Amino acid sequence: MEVLLNIQSFHFTDKPGRRHALAVGAVLTWVSLTNPTPPSFAAESKKGFLPVTDQKDGYEFLYPFGWQEVSIEGQDKVFKDVIEPLETVSVNLVPTSKQDMRDLGSPQEVAEVLIKKVLAPASQKTKLVEAKEHEVDGKTYYTFEFLAKAPNYTRHGLSAIAIGNGKFYTLTTGANERRWGKMKDKLNTIIDSFKVINV
């Protein structure tokens, strides 16, 4: 699993609380709403969401209106809710020589490795809820749902992963477990909107 060993280079952690929200606010960058997006993708935009299209790295997705872009080392793109710091979406990519997701293993196998090695700190207890495979325009995607339990909170996460353009893509979103009921539809919209585009 060559690509899974390489993805350990971006470790993703969240620390809840007012102090973290203030720190995130300090590094907010202005999101330009005037960037042109391809009409085909803009047409797929849903009410309450904004589109992101990265023509250089080859991916697109939707994120909830009101979330702000932040710069986090090791992440290609990150958007966060400034009030609820566990409500985020991030995209990571690493080079790979693999051509298809199935070359790495089943959805469950790949999800387990990612959750334990990348998406949650080693100190957190994790649980894979569900993992599945689907195809969009002939490209294989794995999506999965997981829980990461810290001493003072539990993060309920969703991820979509794919291979294309010589890269392994991981899009991850989530929320505090206490807000899962309110946020799950929005978070599933983010996951469902993720697409790798040829560049």
Q: What is the block-wise mean pLDDT of the chain (199 residues), using blocks of 10 residues? A: 42 39 31 34 69 96 96 93 94 93 94 93 95 93 97 96 96 97 96 95
Query: C-alpha distances in angstroms, 145 versus 35, 94, 113, 132?
Result: 32, 21, 13, 9
pLDDT for res 177: 96
pLDDT for res 46: 82
Reported as a single tens digit per residue, the pLDDT across 127-141 is 999 999 999 988 999
pLDDT for res 159: 98
Taking alpha carbons only, the member of 197, 9, 5, 167 closest to residue 97 is: 167
Count CB neighbours of 138 within 10 A.
5
pLDDT for res 44: 55
pLDDT for res 69: 96
Q: What is the CATH number of the domain that holds 92?
A: 3.40.1000.10
pLDDT for res 161: 97
pLDDT for res 7: 43
| Distance between CA atoms of residues 189 and 192, nearest Å | 5
- Six token digits for residue 87: 């409500």
| Domain total of the chain | 1
pLDDT for res 19: 36
pLDDT for res 36: 36
Boundaries of domain holding 155: 2-196
The whole model's pTM is what?
0.78
- 42 contacts 59 by C-beta, under 8 angstroms: no
